[in-house]
Structure 1
Amino acid sequence: MNYRTISALVLSLSLVLATFYPLLAEIQAQGQDESLMTIGGKPVEKDELIYLISKGKDSDPSSTGMSRDEFEENLNQFINYKLKVREAVELGMDESQEFLMEFESYKENLKAPYLIKNSLEEGELRKAYSRMQEVVRASHILFQFPPNASQEDSLSVLRMALKVKDQIENGGDINELALEYSEDPSAKQNKGDLGYFTALQMVQPFEDAAFSLQAGQVSDPVMTNFGYHIIKVLDKRPNPGQVRVSHILVRIDADDPNAEDLARRKVADIYTEIQKENTVWENIVKNYSEDPASSQNGGMLPWFSVGSMIPEFEMAAFSLTEIGEVSPPVKTKYGYHILRLEDKKPIDSFEDLEESIRSRIMRDSRSTMIQSQVMAIQKSRYSFDENETSIGNLESELKTFTQIQLPGAVAAKGLDNNELFTLQGTTYTMSDLVNFIESEELKIPVKTSAFDAWYDRFTAAKLNETEEQDILQNNKEYQMLLKEYHDGILMFSLMNQEVWQKGLQDSLGQRSFYQENIQDYQWDERVDAFIVKVLDMNQLNEARAKLRGSTLSTELISSFESEFKSNNPLAYQTESGLLEFNNHPVLSEANLNESYQEIEVNGHLHLIVLGDKLPAGPKDFSETRGLVIRDYQEFLEKSLTDRLKEKYPVQINNKSKEEAFVSLNQ
């Protein structure tokens, strides 16, 4: 594990929190005797070294124990890293606006895995994916609430739903009852039969009820935003995944009383034609299909899963089992279809679907449910106590005021000190809520009063802040991750200022370094050469005729490249220029006194044209500038490290050092 490995671990970025340094100081104060080392008198904990090295080992599955030499190498790299962080702090880089903004920008990503919300979201993701392994076929009857329904109205709807449920359980046909009672507009066509569906295709209460029932069972009334539903599960089966079909469509003209019969006869004739030997499906589609979107491309439709198409079409598609199998005519509301199976594939993995599931969950009622659960857990965990009497008074006093009017109304009515709630021993008042409103640069669209909307927002904000503080104070892994990102930015900033940018931009320093180390930038003996590797021996004679007896020149090389290589790009590989010959795989075998020769190396014939030979000597600065910059940056880094070791003496606690070594090998 080299220096850049540890650097890569610490260059990821995150946010600075106001309590970070007080907390760090407290941690350090508690563990002075257990410090791994001091740098310029300030302690560095062994846990930090263990964390960074372990993180590097975790990224390498083949990694096993660590030898003493490897440990010493990593320790030295860690010391150099901490010296740079210490210098960056001394220079005030951790207080710069650039640092604070950069650190802040990564806060959400850094803390997210440790939040209550994350574990609840993960649970919903896994539950949704688990449900996706199954498809459910159900029928339902919808009983809608009247507009502006009263409590009595809602009870009347509920009583009707219970009455119809009793009829179903006593032998009534849910599909016939749906025709009579359901207020779902589609019931007139489907008699309440929703076909097959899977997770995230119905509103959450409906989905929860459907997946909790066994085939043949009838639900109690299920309330959604649409009203009360009575649900009967007709079938459950494994999710068949996705299917791709092509189809032929024969439409039915709704204005022609004879259209149904005509369409049925036409599709029957087409189906008969398809059964004939040597019939080309694409030609039949092009000639007869009345679907303009697909008739010109063989009737091909996009991939789809259960619940994506109308039930009749979908059931016909998923009933096909063999690629190329053709269905009998299927009637839907669009007309008659004949389907051909093009391909099938199973449901995608959780990893492939995770972001799609997350997006869909965050767009439906589950997101509100998750947020409610988060707040409930936070309130319980952090001793939240609402002043119900004060809240009731504030709601009454402020219910008519808008967001803009609210602060003034609070002041005018003398409500500033009215208590809202206590959270971990801290009491928040109406004054705190007003300050919060004035600090937020947004307007909340409200269905209730502005006070209620802002009170809910303020409460959520304070609970989230409290949870973040709890993580920071009590989660060791988060503390380490936060420190890693914090120190990584500082180390990067110092290196960028003192090494990388300086090495790139200091042209005088580069030339001075080049002159002082000229012995490292030397050419070996070279020869001007043009080498043609023959890959297609059928093209050998033409190339040989072109090169044999010719004098090496730019014109010769250009002519060969344009006349031969460009016309036969797979016949030759070429190399040209002033080349060091002693270790060259081809030139090391050549006779440098012959201007033209042919040499076989590694099974390929090489045609060689040689020019002038040049003795060994120094490279021009322009010829080696890239290498000089790299070496100069390494020199600057070593000089920086040596200077910092003098500025901040390192004292190692050998007992803690040995404990760290043992811990890394457990």
Structure 2
Amino acid sequence: MNNMNSFKHLLFLVLIMAAAGLSAQKDSDVLFTVADKPVTVGEFKYIFGKTNGDESGYNEESVREYLELYERFKLKVARAKAMGLDTITALQNELEGYRRQLADNYLIDRQVTDRLVEELYQRTQKDIEFSHILLKFRGNPSPADTAALFNEAKAIKARLTASNFADEAKKNSQDNFSAPKGGKIGYITAPFPKGMHRLETALYRAKVNEVVGPVQTELGYHLAIKSAERPARGEVEIAHILIRKPEGTKTGSMPIPAQLQSAQKMLNNGDDFAKVAARISEDGKTKDNAGYLGFIGINRYEPAFENAAFGLTKDGQVSEIIESSVGFHLIRRISAKGIQPLDDIRPLLETKVKADGRFEDAKKQMLKDIRVKANVQENKAVFGRYAAELVDSTFLSFRWKPAKTGVTTPLLAVGDDYKVGLDQFQEYLRKNSRQRVSMGRNSNASTVASNLYDTWIDEQLMAYAESRLEVDFPEFAALMREYREGILLFEATKIEVWDKASEDTTGLKQFFAMHRDDYKWEERATVTRYVVRANSGADINEVYAYAADHDMDATLDKFGRANIDASSDEFELNRLSEIGNLTPKAGSRTPVSNDMRKGVATFSKVEALLPARQKELREARGYVIADYQDQLEREWVEELRKQFPVKINKKVLAKLIKS
């Protein structure tokens, strides 16, 4: 009996789960219609997620609020189509132009850039310590030279271990900087210097004490070993006080200078670091700017200096006296900057990957992937016969023109319906005449045609992939729908609302008269901001004292307009606290603020208070037009709801909210 009950319970659960599966919401379900035109759950979820990101879940309030907005959007699009705006050639051309711009970058961004950026970002989370052995290329090596060097590197690797790596590096490495140190480079963080991305990849993928290589870079072949890794240190912003050593003095051979010991005592007694640096430091470039060195990363300074700087745990903390090859230092931490969120540094990383050989390597791999997935077929026999008949004297000159070949067999077939032949290839040769002639200075016609053919094939593969973006990337199809409907909405709204609001001067005046009390100047203050450059010769304290009883022009005349920048603006009184805690009183000043990074000192002053009053139409025109547009748009949407009925599928909406 118990077994039977257990079986019934299990069967009941299976049926419940099956029913849940049958009733699960699909992206193809219709959420609402506008004049019988469907909007699916998938379309709504895409635009909802894109607009709200992770900020809002599918709760009832947020879904209904956005549903209202998207209904209005679709009503305006329906009106645009009813006006025939989607048939206007100029708008169709505009949309095609947008598609070309998006397609040009979309495939590369999705298949190459995004992946490389995310990979590089993950690598920046770690510092790695490594050593290497470099076998250099000499001059412009031939394939035989390259192969011989590769084999030499393989022979060395065969006897390499973690324990003998340093000795082998001293004997074999051609890197004059690191060879005497057993090939040791020290800690470094991705990205490696330009041209070294393959070595970077090998080392970040390697285990500690694993020998990797031979790895080819622009310099030659590398054998390398990762000896340690640690969480990335990031950057630290520092200042220092320096007492130099006599040139040639060995580390540890002289006592700590008395001047620096005196400076340390002053700082321990609470003296200002900037004043102590100005009095004692022997670094002529930084002593008059509070010893400021800026942000430093790893492997920029000597290990002793770097370790002391990164060893400081709090802003304002000063190190013990440390020695470098230059002299003795006291280091003060100003701030520290860890690894920033990916979204914040994505543009910087994109610039770095696109300027690096890793980008071209990844593009080549993408083209190889397209060849495999798309069943690419080349007719090299047709090309071979064509190239063999080319004549150097004509083909390698600007006078060459495509000839009628009568060949209809495709040179390239991709997928089921993308075919290109000799006519298209010859047109490519004609358009690239400068490159064709330039390459012909050192090659014959057949070789030039073959090189250009390879480039043309790559371009055709890209063109094929771009033609399928809507099929292969649903997000691209959604993006194109956004552009298409956005263009229509813009044109319809411009005609029905914006132009009417800006051209209907009578209606605008009537609207302003009815809402005049909505447009007022609150009580305001005229505020002047003074900027004094550290190298100008003007004393900031004297400027500050003089400005207390004098206006901007008098202050500028007193200290020289070439030395001081000053500008005045009006602020509502409730915003004064944002400007250095100014109070709503004429003569109120902020304290002086020193910016060491920019080398300037600033302060602000309230010059006068202005009373509240109503605005005239000319003063509030922009705000009035915007509000008048809002009213016209509300009236327009109400008319559209009558013209294009909206029907919401309440069951689908309920499932969406619960999801």
Instruction: Please indicate the TM-score interval, normalised by the length of the shorter structure.
Output: 0.5 to 0.7
Deviation at 1:143, TM superposition (A): 0.9
Contact 1:196–1:311 under 8 Å retained in 2? no
Q: Does 1:383 align with 2:375?
A: yes
Structure 2 alignment gaps of length 5 or more: 1-28, 525-583, 589-604
Deviations 1:44-100 (A, max 9, x none): 555687458745884561651369997995686356313322134x15664226x63
Q: Distance in 1 between matches of 2:109 and 2:468?
A: 14
Match among 197, 202, 206 for residue 204 of structure 1: 197
The alpha-carbon deviation at position 324 of structure 1 amounts to: 0.8
Measured on the aligned residues, the alpha-carbon RMSD in Å equals 4.9
1:465 corresponds to which of 463, 466, 469: 463
Match of 2:222, SS state, is strand
5 Å matches for 1:406-417? 408=400, 410-411=402-403, 414=405
Structure 2 SS opposite 1:197: strand
The 3-state SS of whatever aligns with 2:488 is helix
The verdict on how the C-alpha distance between 1:122 and 1:643 changes in structure 2, with shifts beyond 3 A counting, is: closer
1:213 paired residue number: 206
Q: Which residue of 1 aligns with 2:75?
A: 80
Structure 1: gaps of 5 or more residues? 1-32, 254-258, 525-529, 533-563, 580-619
Aligned to 1:8: none
Q: 1:267 to 1:193 in 2, by over 3 A?
A: farther
Mapped partners of 2:385, 2:498: distance in 1:
63
TM-score (norm 2): 0.66
Distance 1:429 1:319 in 2: 66
Letter in 2 for 1:349: P
Corresponding residue SS for 2:97: helix
Residues matched between the structures, number: 537
Distance (whole Å) between structure 2 residues aligned to residue 43 and residue 638 of structure 1: 22
For structure 1, which segment, 148-157 or 269-278, has the greater mean C-alpha deviation from structure 2 after superposition? 269-278
Question: 1:382 deviation in Å?
Answer: 1.9
Cα contact 2:308–2:331 (8 A) shared by 1: no
User: Structure 1 residues 364, 474: closer, same or farther in 2, change over 3 A?
Assistant: closer
Provide the rounded CA distance (Å) in 1 between the counterparts of 2:342 and 2:290. 33
Which of the pair has the greater relative contact order for Cα pairs under 8 Å at 6+ separation?
Answer: 1
| TM-score (normalised: structure 1) | 0.65
How far, CA to CA, are the matches of 1:131 and 1:309 in structure 2? 22
Alignment of 1:407-486 (within 5 A): 408=400, 410-411=402-403, 414=405, 419-425=410-416, 426-438=418-430, 450-452=448-450, 454-473=452-471, 475-486=473-484
SS at match of 1:504: helix
Q: Match of 1:7?
A: none
Contact preservation (8 Å) 1:410, 1:416? no
- Structure of greater Rg: 1
State the SS of the aligned residue for 1:301: strand
CA contact (8 A) 1:402 1:450 kept: no
Q: CA deviation at 1:424?
A: 1.5
The worse-fitting range, judged by mean Cα deviation, of 394-403 and 287-296 is: 394-403
1:61 and 2:56 are equivalent in the alignment? yes
SS of the residue 1:303 aligns to: strand
Q: CA deviation at 1:118?
A: 1.2
- Residue 363 (structure 1) aligned with residue 359 (structure 2): no
Q: Is the 8 A contact 1:403 1:451 kept in 2?
A: no
SS at match of 1:408: coil
Equivalent of residue 326 in structure 1, options 306, 312, 320:
320
Counterpart amino acid of residue 77 in structure 1: R
Specify whether residues 311 and 578 from structure 1 end up closer, same or farther in structure 2 by C-alpha distance, changes over 3 A only. Answer: closer
Which of 216, 229, 233 matches 2:222? 229
CA offsets, 1:295-334, max 9 Å, x none? 3334321212223445565455445567311343122xxx
Distance in 2, matches of 1:196 and 1:95, equals 60
Identify if the C-alpha distance between structure 1 residues 397 and 318 changes in structure 2 by more than 3 Å, giving closer, same or farther: farther
C-alpha contact 2:235 2:298 (8 A) present in aligned 1: yes
Aligned partner letter, 2:488: L
Q: Tell me by how many angstroms 1:243 deviates.
A: 2.3
Partner amino acid, structure 2, of 1:462: Q
Q: Find the counterpart in structure 1 of residue 551 from structure 2.
A: none
Q: Secondary structure at the match of 2:127?
A: strand
* Cα deviation digits, residues 233-255 of structure 1 (max 9, x gap): 232222222223334263665xx
Assess, with a 3 A threshold, how the Cα gap between structure 1 residues 287 and 155 changes in structure 2: closer, same or farther. Answer: farther
- Does the 8 Å CA contact 1:246/1:341 hold for their aligned counterparts? yes
Q: Which amino acid aligns with 2:172?
A: Y
Q: Deviation per CA, 1:358-417: give whole Å up to 9, x if none.
A: 2211111110121012112222222211223344555666696899748926528x4976
Residue 535 of structure 2: aligned partner: none
Given residue 65 of structure 1, which amino acid in structure 2 is its aligned partner?
A: E
1:173–1:578 Cα change, 3 Å: closer
Q: Aligned AA for 2:153?
A: A
CA contact (8 A) 1:267 1:336 kept: no
After superposition, what is the alpha-carbon deviation per residue over 1:167-204, rounded to whole angstroms, capped at 9, x for unaligned? 54395452x54344322232366553211112212412
Superposition deviation, residue 117 in structure 1: 4.7
* 1:236–1:100 CA distance, 2 compared to 1 (3 A): same
Q: 1:237 to 1:625 in 2, by over 3 A?
A: closer
The residue number in structure 2 matching 1:538 is none
> Match of 2:184, as an amino acid?
D
Please tell me whether the aligned partners of residues 140 and 178 of structure 1 are also in contact (alpha carbons under 8 angstroms). yes
- Rounded to whole Å, the distance in 1 between the matches of 2:507 and 2:175 is 80
